[in-house]
Structure formats: structure tokens, C-alpha cells
A and B are shown apart, each in its own frame.
Chain A
Amino acid sequence: MIGAHPQPDSAPAPPLETPATAPPRRMTGAQICLESLLREGVDTIFGYPGGANLYLYRWLPDYPNLHHILVRHEQGAAHAADGYARSRRGAVGVCFATSGPGALNLVTGLGTAFMDSVPVIAITGQVPVSAIGTDSFQESDVIGSTMSVVKHSYLLTRVEDIAPTIKEAFHVARSGRPGPVVIDFPKDLQAAVGEFNYPEEPVRMRSFPPPPQPDPNQLREIARIIKEAKRPVILSGRGVLISGAEQELLELSHRAHIPVGWTLLGTGAFPLQDPMALQMVGFMGAGYTNKAVCDADVVIMIGMRCDDRVTTRLDSFAPRVEHLIHIDIDPAEIGKSVVPHLSVVADAKTALSRLLPMVEPKREHEWLTQIDQWKEEHPIHYVRREGFLQPQEVLEAMYSRCKDEAIVVADVGQNQIWAALWFNYAKPGLFLNSGGLGTMGYAFPASMGVKFSNPDRTVFCVTGEGGFMMNMQEMATMVENNIDVKVIILNNASLGMVRQFQDDFYDGVRSAVDLTFTPDFVKLGEAFGMKAMTTRRLEDVGPMLDEALAHKGPVLLNFDIDPDANVYPIVPLGKGMLDFVEAS
């Protein structure tokens, strides 16, 4: 669509030719907004036009360096912007939506980004300033509707505020603990003319100070505790990945011989093949990780919230711990669920890089031997069943072809946990999912954004048939833009995770989980112009993947898997960390 818009005679000079230091130029609010996005390094926008953002779309074709992707539903735009930001450190995802229904369709995507600390900027059209509050056509209270799922939001009311507000919004979204920010942009302001003058000086806000520096005394105390620890364990979360502290984490673990486990969102922060590696912790974590946490005398939690999926029943979490240490950039996470003995409020990379020189090298034998024994006793495993394809077999076949090169974007449910446990993530940033909000339908649109951020990597979208259908309209976007994502549907003809819960925890009554009635995904994919294949046999998996990977462009692969395949290990609802049930 770029360049398709006819140029009126009165169009101003192409904006890009003017250097940042040139005298201010008069332009419309819409152009000021687009200019500002360029200054913030934006190159891709996922959006959907409508009555209240038409001025933005009027001028968008004048900005060929702002690549606009027309999604087919605003929720797709929010998730795509999330995937774009989540998969490239430092990047901010941008999405556009119109007022009313358009903006409200973003809410789930903003909530997803908010829970997982992903920097996303949503620019929503709004009815003219004079019409706000009158229930005019397609008006909604966007600021009010999104308040609890964004880090911050702005309602623009003056042309001269547009550029400084956009600059501040990007600063807020990407600084400290990142998060989504909404800018509500009334239509009349988009049309109003003002001077473009992008603020050069860095943003300083008295109400949003830079993250604090770690207290050296507390770091020294942590080093002392590590020195005296007998059975230490580190748990790492997404904060390690956001701050880029993977190398420091590895060094700390190796220097003091501390085994490292991780949260679902922390997957990839520590290489699985490392001898010090545990696995995911908690509700669906590895039995040996849970055993290590429950026996540990020192637990160091880094860049994580320690939510209920980590602790299982709260009183069962780390019962023998003498020193519970929590490092996180957000003071509100300290003591929210578990109250640590010692806490450091700081960015994970800053805290770990300053802690490292204080930590004395140490060799541990007894504790590591014990952990190795638990690893042997409780390996993560699955059970094959004659005549049925297991989801783990598909994931293993994927991994054997792509190793540490591919990015896996998982949806929510059984497919999410299988993808977390059955792919060897040896490098950071190769596993993405909606861990906090648990948004079904996330993976497919998010994987579009991931591909834009990582054009040279193979991108797999691992999803179930339920989650895929929640946002499958984006097949049109995928095909139109030839976005090279390999979609893996692990199709068990049911809402698998809910079905597993009903079987095991709700008296075995299966209620509203049967998805036997699903479309023929091959025909569906082909209807959108997408290469599509299906099988229920193991021997087809490899050749199908090979064909999909050889194809340049999106491919949909449907695997009819064992309908009774379950996620193991799992801690039954209401039970504690050591009550995990394993595959049998």
C-alpha cells in the first residue's frame, strides 16, 4: 500500500531530507507523529485504519521508511508488535488502531505485553477533542479501558505536545522494567498544523527516575552467603533476558558452582546443556528442579516475579531455605508473594556484574552429585503409544533440523509447555511465549513480528488448533507479506490443557473441550494461499519439516497428535512442589 496514495499539490517536501538540526517546520499533527516515530528508530508498524486515525494513514505513504503491515484484526497488531519487540533486545514494537472498537481490540495484546514486560507503543485514533465524552460514533474511553494493562498512557490535547509525548512514551516503554504505553491521538490534532521540533535532550522525568544502583553492602552480603552456602540454587527469570545478563549469570554459576533453574519466561537465559543447568521450575517444571529448590539452603531469584506457577502452593516453596535472595528491577515484586531475607532492587545485568568480582571461586561436590542423582531419578520423559504421534516427537524433529538457530514462538496450553521442555534452548531469546497473561491466540500473530525482527532466523509458531483459530485471520497478513513463519499446529482435537485439568482435577468430567469439529487446516491454509500439509504419522514428520523449511514463505503444518497426550511433570492443583506427577 506504500506509495499508493495520490499526492496532492499542497503536499510538503519529503520529510526525511531535513536533518534533525534544521529549523522547525510546520506540518500536520499526523506528520509530526510519523516524524517522531522515525526519530525513535521505528521501521515497522502493525496497524489497522479507521475513521479516527485516517490522517495518520493519509500521510503514512509519505514515509517509506515506516513499513506498515496491515493486520486483519487489531489484536493481531498488538501481538505482532509484542513479538517484534520481545525478540530483539532494545526494540520497541509499534501498533496503530482507530478509536472505539479498534482500540478496544488492542486490550488483550497490551495486557499480554504488560504482564511480560514488553515495550510496545500503541497509537490509537480518538474522536476529536471537542467530541470526547459525548459518546460520539466509535468513541471509547481508551485511557480508562487500558489503564490496568499498560505501564502508562497519554491523551494528546495540543499539537505542541505530540513530539515530546512520543519521545517520553518511548522512554517510558523501554526504560526500567519495560512495558506497553498507549498514546490516544484525537483526530482533530492529527489534522491540526504545528511546528515539528523533536526534543534533542534526553528525557528526564521527576516521577520516573532511572533504575536504582545496587547497594554494594547487600551485594557483599550475597557474596558472603554464597561462600557459606551448602546447597545453593539460582532461579532466573525474564529479567535476565531483558537486561542481557546471560553471560554474567553463566559466570556466577560456574564460579561458585551454583545450579541454575528458570521460570517459563526465563527459558533460554541459561543453556540447557550446561552441567550446572537444571530446568524449568514449578507447576510444570522438572522434578529435579523442584527437588533442588525444596532442599536448597540458599535460593537466589534473579529477574523474576515468583508467581504462583513458580511456587505452586506457597508454603511448599523452598521450605529449607535459610537465605532467600531476590534481585529484581521492580521493588513492587520484592515480597509480593514470597518475602526474601535479602533483596536487591536493580537491573539484573548491573547487579550480577557488580556481584561477580565479590564472589570467591568455589568447588561444590556433594550438592552437585545429589542434583545429578535427582536428574537421573526424575528425567523429563514421555511415553510413546503405538499408532499415535507424540507432540514431543514433532518438537525433537524440529530441533534436530534447526538446532540453536530457530526461534520458537509458543501459544498457550499444552503446546506451550511441550515447546518449553522439548527444545534445547542453548542461546537466549529463542523461546517466546505469553507466560504471564497466558493469552491463547498469541503465538500466530506474534510470530509475524518476530520474523520482522529476525529476518535471518527460522521462526516456528508452535500452537494448538484452539489457539490458532483464535487469530487465524492473520493468515491473510502472513501470505500477503510472504512472512516466512513455519506454523506447527499440534492438533489433539481438544482444548488439551483444559481437558487434562478436567480429567485429573475436575472429576474427569470433560466439558466444552472437544474440538473434533475443526476445519480442514490444509484446505483452510490453501484458501488463504498458504502452503499447507498434514499428517498423523511419525514417518511423515521429518520429510514434511524438510519441505517446509526448504520453502521460502509461510507454511502451515498440521500434526494430528495423540489426543490423550498430557503435560508432565505436573503438580496437581493445590499441591506442593514435591508432589509432581511424572509421565507413566
Chain B
Amino acid sequence: MNPSRLVSVMVENKPGVLNRVASMIRRRGFNIDSLSVGPTEDATVSRMTIAVHVGRQAAEQATKQLAKLIDVITIDDITELRSVSHELMLIRMHAPPEQRAEILDVVTVFLGRIVDIAASSMIIEITGTTQKIDNFVELMRPYGIEELARSGAVALVRGDQAGARLGGLGLDGAAPEGSRTGAGAAGASVTADTTGDI
């Protein structure tokens, strides 16, 4: 299992917000495993997906401290929720013609794509869970990895109620302990896992 906590933070799309969030995590002594920031369906809101390497208790404190930041709109520790958490990797493989077929076999199994090909190398694009990508990297290692880049995880809670829940939870500090991560979340609707994880 991944030992880090996955936190989804909706923030105002303003300059300096990333600095505030990262600075708070550093100041409280937490280590970031990965962090991704990007736009959402609302141009004034960005979503940060942060994997922090802490236990549940410490994550709760980190979550509360982040929630206090004025530019943070909502924050959810989604580690224990049913969620889809994916990252993207670009990896340049040493791939002379005699190795290509073998590599392509693995890429096919992992539902990857070849996005660049040169005389003795190629770039492969893979998406999926952190674990899936870790597995792919291990399989590629014997062929010779030239370089790779990973995006860090982005995540969404599964199911029909997830969006409503995020909106309604707000930063309501009155919520009793634990409710920030619970609240019936996505449990009710049955969702199919269509991610094709390996």
C-alpha cells in the first residue's frame, strides 16, 4: 500500500497560492511525495492534489492548517475514500531496433502509447496509478531508461455524490472530527472501475 495520504485541495486561482500551500506543509514539518496543480472546470479555481508522507493524525493537523489558508476553498483527505488517482509518465527508453518489439509488448499490456520514436530511442506515455507506473518502470529498467518525467497524482472522488460533497463541505470547522474525510461520500452509488490498472 502507498503510505502517503492523498489530499485534494481546491484553491483560488491566484498568484502565490502554491507558495502558501507548500510553505504551510513545510512549516508543519511534513514531506511532500508529490504535488500536482492544474485548472478546473471553474477558471477561478485550481485543484492541487498532494500526496504527503504522514500518518492519519498528522495529516488531519496538516489538513486543518491548510484549510485555514485564506486562498484555500475546500480541502479533503481522500485517502480512505473511493477515488481515482492517476498520474502520467513520459519515459525515454534506450530502444535500438532489436529491443523495440519486446518493449512494445510491455507497453501494449500497460495500455501505453509511443509518442516519439528515433533511431535508437523512443518516448512512451503511460497513465495510471502510482503503483502501476512504478511496476512499469521496474519492467523497463533492464532495457535502459534514458530519462523519465512523472506528473504526480491527480485524483477525483468516485461516484455521483462526490461533486456535491466537495461543494457542501466547505471549510466548516464545526464538522466533528473525522467528518472532513467521511460524510457518506461516494458510497451510495455503484461505480465501475474502468481504469484498467495492472
Q: Which residues of A are at the interface with B, using a C-beta cutoff of 8 A?
A: 143-144, 147-148, 151-152, 155, 172, 205-209, 211-215, 218, 329-332, 334-336, 343, 345-346
Residues on A with beta carbons closer than 8 Å to the beta carbon of B57:
335
Inter-chain contact B71/A215, CB cutoff 8 Å: no
A215 / chain B contacts, CB cutoff of 8 Å: 174, 176
In the complex, chain A residues whose CB is within 8 Å of the CB of B70: 151-152, 172, 205, 207-208
Instruction: Say yes or no: A332 contacts B174, CB within 8 Å.
Output: no
A147-B19, A332-B65, A335-B61 given as contacts; is B71 within 8 A of A207 (CB)? yes
Decide if B170 is an interface residue (CB 8 Å cutoff): yes
**Count class of interface residues, chain B:** 20 to 34
- Is B173 interfacial (CB 8 A cutoff)? yes
A-B contact pairs, 8 of them (CB 8 A): A151-B70, A152-B71, A155-B15, A172-B70, A206-B73, A215-B174, A331-B67, A334-B64
Cα distance, A148 to B16, chains bound together (Å): 13
**A206-B170, A208-B171, A218-B176 given; 7 more Cβ-contact pairs under 8 Å:** A211-B173, A214-B174, A330-B68, A331-B67, A332-B65, A335-B60, A343-B176
| Closest Cβ neighbor of B26 among chain A residues | A148
The answer, among A218, A330, A336, for a CB contact under 8 Å with B173, is A330
Bound-state Cα–Cα, A172 to B57, Å = 28
1/0 contact string of B9-46 vs chain A (CB within 8 Å): 00110011001100100010000000000000000000
Contact in complex: B61, A332 (CB < 8 Å): yes
Report A142 CB to chain B, min CB distance, Å: 12
Which A residue's beta carbon lies closest to that of B167?
Answer: A206
List B residues at the A interface (Cβ < 8 Å): 11-12, 15-16, 19-20, 23, 27, 57, 60-61, 64-65, 67-73, 170-174, 176-177
User: A332 to B68, Cβ gap below 8 A?
Assistant: yes
For A152, A207, A211, A345, the residue with the greatest tally of chain B CB atoms inside 10 Å of its CB is A207
Dominant SS among interface residues on chain A: loop
Nearest residue (CB) in B for A340 is: B177
User: Across the interface, do A207 and B173 meet the contact criterion of CB distance under 8 Å?
Assistant: no
Smallest distance from the beta carbon of A342 to chain B beta carbons, Å?
9
* List of A residues within 8 angstroms of B61 by Cβ: 332, 335-336
In angstroms, how far is the closest chain B Cβ from the Cβ of A522?
45
Taken together as a complex, chains A and B put the C-alpha atoms of A205 and B15 apart, in Å, by: 17
Q: How far is it, in angstroms, between the C-alpha of A208 and the C-alpha of B19 when the chains are bound? A: 18
On whether the beta carbons of B73 and A332 are closer than 8 Å, the reply is no
A212 and B60 within 8 A (CB): no
A337 to chain B, nearest CB (A): 10
State the 10 A-B residue pairs at the shortest beta-carbon distance, nearest first: A212-B174, A331-B173, A332-B64, A345-B173, A152-B70, A207-B73, A212-B173, A331-B64, A345-B174, A332-B65
Q: A147-B23, A331-B64 in contact; A209/B16 too (CB < 8 A)?
A: no
Closest to B61 in A: A336
- Give A152's nearest chain B residue, CB to CB: B70
**Given the complex of chains A and B, what is the CA–CA distance between A152 and B27 in angstroms?**
16
User: Measured between alpha carbons, how far is A567 from B124 in the docked complex, in Å?
Assistant: 69
A212/B172 contact (C-beta < 8 A), A155-B15, A335-B60 known: yes
A209-B172 contact given A152-B70, A155-B15, A330-B68, CB 8 Å threshold: yes
Q: Smallest Cβ distance from A516 to chain B, in angstroms? A: 39
When C-beta atoms are compared, the residue in chain B nearest to A346 turns out to be B174
State in angstroms the CA–CA spacing of A21 and B60 once bound together.
Answer: 47
Q: Closest Cβ of chain A: how far from B66's Cβ, in Å?
A: 9
**Nearest B residue (CB) for A181:** B70
Residues of A within 8 A of B72 (CB): 207
Contact (Cβ within 8 A) B64 A207: no
A423 to B60, CA, bound (A): 41
From A143, A155, A213, A330, B174 is in contact (CB under 8 Å) with: A213
Task: For B27, give the chain A residue with the smallest CB separation.
Answer: A148
The residue of chain B having its C-beta at the shortest distance from the C-beta of A205 within the complex is B70
**Nearest chain A CB to B89 CB, angstrom units:** 32
> How many Å lie between the Cα of A332 and that of B70 in the bound state?
14
- Shortest C-beta distance, B41 to chain A (Å), equals 15
Alpha-carbon distance between A214 and B60 when the two chains are bound, in angstroms: 20
Closest to A333 in B: B64
Do B16 and A143 touch (CB < 8 A)? Answer: yes
Check B19 against A207 for contact (C-beta < 8 Å).
no
Q: How far is the CA of A152 from the CA of B17 in the complex (A)?
A: 11
* Bound-complex Cα distance A205 to B71 (A): 9
* Alpha-carbon gap, A334 to B57, bound state (A): 12
